Amino acid sequence: MTSTRPSGRAADALREVRITRGFTRHAEGSVLVEFGDTRVLCTASVEESVPPFLRGKGEGWVTAEYGMLPRSTHTRSAREAAKGKQSGRTQEIQRLIGRSLRAVVDLKALGERQITLDCDVLQADGGTRTAAITGACVALHEALDKLVVAGKLPANPMRELVAAISVGIVDGRPVADLDYAEDSSCDTDMNVVMTASGGIVEVQGTAEGAPFSRAELDALLALAERAIAQLVEAQKRALAG
Amino acid sequence: MTSTRPSGRAADALREVRITRGFTRHAEGSVLVEFGDTRVLCTASVEESVPPFLRGKGEGWVTAEYGMLPRSTHTRSAREAAKGKQSGRTQEIQRLIGRSLRAVVDLKALGERQITLDCDVLQADGGTRTAAITGACVALHEALDKLVVAGKLPANPMRELVAAISVGIVDGRPVADLDYAEDSSCDTDMNVVMTASGGIVEVQGTAEGAPFSRAELDALLALAERAIAQLVEAQKRALAG
Amino acid sequence: MTSTRPSGRAADALREVRITRGFTRHAEGSVLVEFGDTRVLCTASVEESVPPFLRGKGEGWVTAEYGMLPRSTHTRSAREAAKGKQSGRTQEIQRLIGRSLRAVVDLKALGERQITLDCDVLQADGGTRTAAITGACVALHEALDKLVVAGKLPANPMRELVAAISVGIVDGRPVADLDYAEDSSCDTDMNVVMTASGGIVEVQGTAEGAPFSRAELDALLALAERAIAQLVEAQKRALAG
Amino acid sequence: MTSTRPSGRAADALREVRITRGFTRHAEGSVLVEFGDTRVLCTASVEESVPPFLRGKGEGWVTAEYGMLPRSTHTRSAREAAKGKQSGRTQEIQRLIGRSLRAVVDLKALGERQITLDCDVLQADGGTRTAAITGACVALHEALDKLVVAGKLPANPMRELVAAISVGIVDGRPVADLDYAEDSSCDTDMNVVMTASGGIVEVQGTAEGAPFSRAELDALLALAERAIAQLVEAQKRALAG
Amino acid sequence: MTSTRPSGRAADALREVRITRGFTRHAEGSVLVEFGDTRVLCTASVEESVPPFLRGKGEGWVTAEYGMLPRSTHTRSAREAAKGKQSGRTQEIQRLIGRSLRAVVDLKALGERQITLDCDVLQADGGTRTAAITGACVALHEALDKLVVAGKLPANPMRELVAAISVGIVDGRPVADLDYAEDSSCDTDMNVVMTASGGIVEVQGTAEGAPFSRAELDALLALAERAIAQLVEAQKRALAG
Amino acid sequence: MTSTRPSGRAADALREVRITRGFTRHAEGSVLVEFGDTRVLCTASVEESVPPFLRGKGEGWVTAEYGMLPRSTHTRSAREAAKGKQSGRTQEIQRLIGRSLRAVVDLKALGERQITLDCDVLQADGGTRTAAITGACVALHEALDKLVVAGKLPANPMRELVAAISVGIVDGRPVADLDYAEDSSCDTDMNVVMTASGGIVEVQGTAEGAPFSRAELDALLALAERAIAQLVEAQKRALAG
């Protein structure tokens, strides 16, 4: 069957993935991640203290914040700083990124320090949260490596890499890595966060139109598994580079 | 193997489910839903207009708001109205409730009116969001019935009932309907929203500790499916009562 | 003269008063108070510390917060947590509840701890603030009793019970315990807070239409005095139960 | 018995009252009111439209806002504009001022326009809210007179003057017009708003320490009545000037 | 050439400048400054601690806050406390006042204390920020003198006086001390802050219409220099008084 | 005299200036401007309507918003969207950018549309506001050109280019284009906005330490004039490219 995807991609084909380390110079980790036209700047900032609820417990913390530049989107969105609050969507995404990264870090081994991942979308074309997780993982790894080099940690406390992909049912067909055109017209949208070894960290599937069946869910998970493997390869190449 | 659940329940056993209609008198739909000690008041309020983004499109809207009374929890939480903002968790939950209910309502058939479901937790013992979806569905059905009786709608535009359940892996074992004790110690936590006919509306699975496997995911979905069937029965009984 | 009150009540007749202790299970004190169709959930939460302005002074504090569920009213009101601030009315009421309760508690004897009374209106039909004070007093007493039982206090530091009633001039006639229909059409509205021994804690009388005379004020105070005596009886029965 | 008031005043003696019209030049009404060292600038601003809830009803509206300059007080208070919200006390006071003035204005006769009274405390020494009401009444009268002169109103729609005084029990003795020293040490504090003809518009009495008796309440009301008569004389002189 | 200024003033003529010390009584420094019809109340409040970023550094801090009473202007402006935030203009002005005063104070000599200058505009007719700086300098000097008198400082740590003036190009002609009519119609508007000895502390020139030339800038600076000298004389007279 | 600048630059030497058009794809104008390590993304968004205060006047509007990514700086700054408000510094800068651009656009000729310039700092090393103005001018020109190409405007309504530079006195010596190291240690800091033809649009000079003399001001303006000429050349090359 020939592709009906707007981009002409095969159902399981990802967009071109680029992970550029050192995109900016002040942060302990700084990565520009691109899934096709989606571009997210992910920086990791190390702070030698933890939030109040963790003080004195000998554990560290990893957290994330997410934002979109007002004109990263097709039409301009109001700036959240000007509106005076972050939308529910923003908060959902930054909580998801934080949870996903904490799932692969040994927080005891990190010690009483906090690492904040700032994921700022420079250009949006669908899949910003999955790109953000994938890029933030590399930025976090980079920052942790620097702590090892600086003698502050004996070893990198990241247990394994973690990446994320969106999959969905578009025109009745399961596809991977939805771009904006697909994202706005799909029936079902699912974000999957998995580790390098195939462990599932997060699954969030939503019926946008009609409910989906268990068989469809299985097909989406299979697509996600293959995609994550490719993303982890890209992360490894970036970290080796 | 004997049960190790704090409550002594079998792995697939739900807590006692009670759905009380007409709990308060002003709202078009008013339901007190109880999953064991978790008690949520769900009211449906009908408004004869729609939000700006839908005006003139001939479609209706269903939305939800969620709140916890400050002392619904073991220790008092700050009142969100006093803090001046809703937490990310609150926003995530109310967005989830709204999406879940919209998935089973024919918004065209609803016409240019909005129904707001207020889900307020009077007492919390785990599973407040799934109880809220399950109860709000009944309150919404009740409000829609009143529109039919009032001659404003030719038929109830809810296509089928929808309910929700939390499932999770506690001490390495998949269980259904986690109470607070289980919720705070589980490895994996998953909320599943399904329709009466078994269609999946939303799946949100999160690894709280170690990532989970595909086999575990399958076991959890199977538990959820059985639980939802029981909840739909309880909803039907309440609506028939 | 025959009654002209919408409810058919005599001028000095209160609505049925119900005070249900232990309505929820987490709080140190938990009371559902009902003045007819007005239902307010009052919980008392004990915290073993005081606000900054009292630290180190060897005194305790009693404070209150008030809220209405969005659909406790005839038409839905916007949720204060969503609007991002509490209205002036809410703040006035919660300040009144806090002052009224502090007037009967020996704060020195309470020691350096704070008790917060959360008064949440589940259903409103006039008189929510007076019901809240009356119910919160019982919830507070219950929480203080628990501190005595736990050996943290030698004796209950509440000097005497306090209750509150609304009185007003409706259609030119003084009446007690106004319901919503009377409240919205009255000429003068007065809330009176009194102790069991008849001491006045707070009097707030407002001319909604024409100013009122000194004779009318006297008639209203007489009505209030009789009503408070009945409310205190109801409180005593609840605490004895 | 000789006076024990810090100021040496007799129990029923007011501080020197000064009402200066035209204190600033842009507002339609502008009055500096002084009760001894308490100085409040009251301006009346006329707007040829009403708030949304009154549009098309052929009625006007009178509202008030209240503020204290940060260093009007003994020690500096944080600026409410900088804190980003008005305190509960501020909101209570401005609601009281608005209600008190609306009680003496024929809003139908005012027509579809709104008058806002801004009451800003330049210097505080107790009784700022009662001074504000007394001064705002004059500023409002002045603004209404201008509408008559401009031919926009056939007659001044203020039915009669209204003024306010604080009375209280200090060291066991009822006194009128409490200054800051008395206000911070009194047992009972009561604000009374009355019209020129002796009608009561608002009574707010609060036991700061022990509850007060009915006899004490009567004594306070008697003091208030005499004080209001003097304030109304001062208002009349200012308006005649 | 005859004057074309609305006020009939010569191009370099200031409005009448009045600096009244002791305008209110609680603040350590309290000055009413008037540039014609522009009237600003400036108070200096001393606090025996510094903001967190300076703690333990042995240095003091001088800061400013600015506000306009809602009806200080021709038409009423919304109260910033009610809107819940300070405008960009307000923040710009209070930052400018703070910087200008810090430029003439030896913060080391001040020691670990903070002085806050509150500049509140009672009546506005152009030039409120320059009047505020000029008046706040006197209020600050007064407060510092009191610290010397109280034996807390060996000498007044203000190095020299500082004042400010607005200059601008109106109808093609450079003029000093613009009033509101000129301010709203000028082509170029410049605020200059200078010390008694002629040092420039701040220059802020803005082309409201067409850009201005270097020659115009020079002419404006010359006007400003002469004006500042006169303002410093007025400050000295006030401090001597 | 040999250079003492940290970067080794001559006193009048700018850092390398790069202006990259089309940096992102959704905006009508999109420019990455770099002054050495300072990198600002400037996008221009066209909206076919104007703010309320301009409706029906036949004029357009140009406005700007400014933000810094949290880790654009040496140490992470809190995200303004998370704090819920924009700082005074942010507001000052975005007001400056807006004024500077409006000064060179014929708003009548633009017609009833608004163009918003979003200036987001990806990396900060001093001079972000001057880089932002310089880059935003190019993005605005690009967006206006597109309106011409689309037939919506007969000609580009930008009268001439505008650019901005920071100059300052560092170690007693006037220098141009301060980087972060110089900016944090300079005595005087001045931002100058000028048009291609040499008209001054804005001058903002601040004494950070000691006041500066008229001679120093003249030297700084001379440096600024030469720098602006170079920046305008860079803008022209970018627009020609």
In this structure, which amino acid lies at residue D153? L
F3 pLDDT band (50/70/90 cuts)? low
Task: Please tell me the predicted confidence (pLDDT) of residue C210.
Answer: 87
Task: Please tell me the predicted confidence (pLDDT) of residue C3.
Answer: 55
**3-state class (DSSP) for residue C204:** strand
Residue F43: list chain A partners with CB under 8 A.
69-71
In this structure, which amino acid lies at residue C207? A
CB contact under 8 A, C116 and B90: no
C1 pLDDT band (50/70/90 cuts)? very low
* Residues making up chain D, counted from first to last: 241
* Residues in binding site of A: 89, 127-129
pLDDT per residue as tens digits for the range F98-119 = 999 999 999 999 999 999 999 9
Residue F45: list chain A partners with CB under 8 A.
70-71, 75-76
DSSP-derived secondary structure letter, C79: P
Give me E186's structure tokens: 């000028």
Q: From the CA of E177, how many Å to the nearest CA of chain D? A: 20
CA proximity to A172, closest of A227, A129, A126, A220: A220
Task: Please tell me the predicted confidence (pLDDT) of residue D1.
Answer: 44
d(CA A76, CA F27): 8
Residue E34 Cα to chain centre, angstroms: 11
The residue of chain F with its CA nearest to that of E204 is F204
Cα maximum dimension of chain B:
60
**3-state class (DSSP) for residue F201:** strand
d(CA E10, CA D133): 44
In DSSP terms, A169 is beta-bridged to A174, A188
Give me C198's structure tokens: 């008849």
With 0-12 / 13-18 / 19 or more C-beta atoms within 10 angstroms meaning exposed / middle / buried, residue D227 is buried
Q: Under an 8 Å CB criterion, which residues of C touch B?
A: 24-27, 30, 37, 39, 41, 43, 45, 47, 65, 67, 69-76, 79-86, 90, 116, 118, 120, 122-124
Task: Please tell me the predicted confidence (pLDDT) of residue C182.
Answer: 94
d(CA B178, CA B201): 20
Cα maximum dimension of chain D:
60
- Above pLDDT 90, what percent of chain B? 93
Asked if F180 and F68 count as a contact pair (C-beta separation under 8 A), the reply is: no
Task: Please tell me the predicted confidence (pLDDT) of residue B1.
Answer: 45
Q: Which residue has the tokens 């009371």?
A: C31
d(CA D138, CA A125): 63
d(CA B125, CA C91): 30
pLDDT per residue as tens digits for the range F135-181 = 999 999 999 999 999 999 999 999 999 999 999 999 999 999 999 99
ipTM (interface pTM): 0.94
d(CA B80, CA A42): 31
With 0-12 / 13-18 / 19 or more C-beta atoms within 10 angstroms meaning exposed / middle / buried, residue C224 is buried
What is chain E's Cα-based Rg? 18
C208 pLDDT band (50/70/90 cuts)? confident
CB contact under 8 A, B217 and A200: yes
Residue C102 Cα to chain centre, angstroms: 12
Task: Please tell me the predicted confidence (pLDDT) of residue C93.
Answer: 97
Task: Please tell me the predicted confidence (pLDDT) of residue D3.
Answer: 55
**CB neighbours (10 Å) of residue D51?**
10
Asked if C164 and C133 count as a contact pair (C-beta separation under 8 A), the reply is: yes
D241 pLDDT band (50/70/90 cuts)? confident
Task: Please tell me the predicted confidence (pLDDT) of residue E1.
Answer: 45
C-alpha separations of C188 from B16, C92, D100 in Å? 49, 18, 13
Which segments of A124-241 are extended strands (E)?
162-170, 173-176, 188-195, 200-207
C241 pLDDT band (50/70/90 cuts)? confident
CA proximity to E177, closest of E237, E106, E120, E129: E129
CB contact under 8 A, F214 and E200: yes
Asked if D201 and D194 count as a contact pair (C-beta separation under 8 A), the reply is: yes
Choose among B190, B195, B200: nearest Cβ to A217: B200
Burial A108-132 (b: 16+ CB within 10 A, else e): ebbebbbbbbbbbbbbbbbbbbbbb
d(CA F86, CA F79): 9
Q: Which residue has the tokens 């929510």?
A: C128
Averages of pLDDT over runs of 10 residues in chain A (241 residues) are 78 97 97 98 97 93 98 96 93 96 97 98 98 98 98 98 97 95 92 97 92 96 98 98 79
pLDDT per residue as tens digits for the range C105-144 = 999 999 999 999 999 999 999 999 999 999 999 999 999 9
Q: Is D58 annotated as a binding residue?
A: no
- Above pLDDT 70, what percent of chain F? 99
d(CA B176, CA B226): 9
Asked if A181 and A170 count as a contact pair (C-beta separation under 8 A), the reply is: no
**CB neighbours (10 Å) of residue D71?**
30
d(CA E139, CA C146): 56
CB contact under 8 A, D210 and C221: no
Asked if A160 and A140 count as a contact pair (C-beta separation under 8 A), the reply is: no
Give the neighbours of chain A: at least 3 Cβ pairs within 8 Å: B, F
Q: From the CA of D85, how many Å to the nearest CA of chain E? A: 5
**CB neighbours (10 Å) of residue C230?**
17
B241 pLDDT band (50/70/90 cuts)? confident
pLDDT per residue as tens digits for the range C169-201 = 999 999 999 999 999 988 899 999 999 999 999
d(CA D69, CA E120): 8
Q: From the CA of E27, how many Å to the nearest CA of chain D? A: 6
Q: What are phi and psi of D190, to 5 degrees?
A: -135, 135
In DSSP terms, A176 is beta-bridged to A167
DSSP-derived secondary structure letter, E158: B
Q: What is the mean pLDDT of chain E?
A: 96
C-alpha separations of A161 from A121, A196, A201, F114 in Å? 22, 5, 11, 45
For chain C, domains (ranges, CATH) are: 17-240 (3.30.230.70)
Helix, strand, coil shares of chain C, percent, nearest 5, are 35, 30, 35
Given a cut of 50, the residues of chain E with pLDDT beneath it are 1
Residue E190: list chain F partners with CB under 8 A.
203
Q: What is the mean pLDDT of chain C?
A: 95
The residues, ordered by sequence, that sit 6+ positions from F215 with a Cβ below 8 Å of its Cβ are none
Dump the DSSP string for F158-176.
B-S-EEEEEEEEETTEEEE
CB contact under 8 A, D69 and E26: no
The pTM (predicted TM-score) of the whole model is 0.93
pLDDT per residue as tens digits for the range A70-103 = 999 999 999 999 999 999 999 999 999 999 999 9
Task: Please tell me the predicted confidence (pLDDT) of residue E3.
Answer: 56
**CB neighbours (10 Å) of residue B128?**
27
d(CA A164, CA A64): 15
d(CA F144, CA F146): 5
Asked if F28 and F114 count as a contact pair (C-beta separation under 8 A), the reply is: no
D78: left (phi over 0), alpha (psi -120 to 50) or beta: beta
**3-state class (DSSP) for residue E79:** coil
CA proximity to B66, closest of B86, B32, B90: B90
On the question of pLDDT at C206 being above 60, the answer is yes
Q: Which residue has the tokens 């007819």?
A: C36
Task: Please tell me the predicted confidence (pLDDT) of residue E223.
Answer: 97
CA proximity to A63, closest of A18, A96, A30: A96
Q: Which residue has the tokens 């119900």?
A: C18
**3-state class (DSSP) for residue C62:** strand
Asked if A176 and A11 count as a contact pair (C-beta separation under 8 A), the reply is: yes
Task: Please tell me the predicted confidence (pLDDT) of residue E208.
Answer: 83
Choose among F91, F204, F211: nearest Cβ to E201: F211
Asked if D80 and E81 count as a contact pair (C-beta separation under 8 A), the reply is: yes
Q: What is the mean pLDDT of chain B?
A: 96
Helix (H) or strand (E) holding C181: helix C180-183
pLDDT per residue as tens digits for the range E19-32 = 999 999 999 999 99
On the question of pLDDT at F1 being above 50, the answer is no
Residue B119 Cα to chain centre, angstroms: 9
